[in-house]
Amino acid sequence: MAIGERLFSLRQKSGQSLQQVADAVGVSKAHVWELEKGRTGNPSFELVQKLARHFGVSIDALVGNADEPDAAALQIARLHRGFEDLSEGDRAVVEDMIKSLRTRAQKAG
């Protein structure tokens, strides 16, 4: 699978627009579209790194040399990236929420 196809698939699975991906990696919306369509070949290594980091996948997964994660794995990666930007207090709140949700799930299941 070419990088453009993989990029499109990852973007669709993560529910992001072309503009959201472009903004996240610092390129134009048109450039992301051209990558997806295979009209731009050989993106820079820096851009490939940024795209992989943005989607929370390895470079191998982005370029098609490793399995592509499913939508749930991508969601977890996005949450993890967001978690890193929180203050220590906010991370503690999120951790408490996760504990509460697990407890509730155990009681229900």
Q: Answer whether 0.75 is exceeded by the pTM.
A: no
pLDDT confidence of 109, banded at 50, 70, 90?
confident
pLDDT at residue 25 in the model: 96
pLDDT confidence of 1, banded at 50, 70, 90?
low
CB 53 within 8 A of CB 84: no
pLDDT at residue 20 in the model: 96
**What number is the average pLDDT over the span 13-40?**
95
Tokens 């369509």: give the residue. 37
Q: How many residues in total does the chain contain?
A: 109
Q: Compute the distance between CA of residue 39 and CA of residue 73 in angstroms, rounded to an integer.
A: 29
| Rg of the chain taking only CA atoms, in angstroms | 17
Q: Compute the distance between CA of residue 34 and CA of residue 50 in angstroms, rounded to an integer.
A: 17
Domain made up of 3-108: CATH architecture:
Orthogonal Bundle (1.10)
Tokens 């207090």: give the residue. 89
Q: What are the extents of the domains in the chain?
A: 3-108
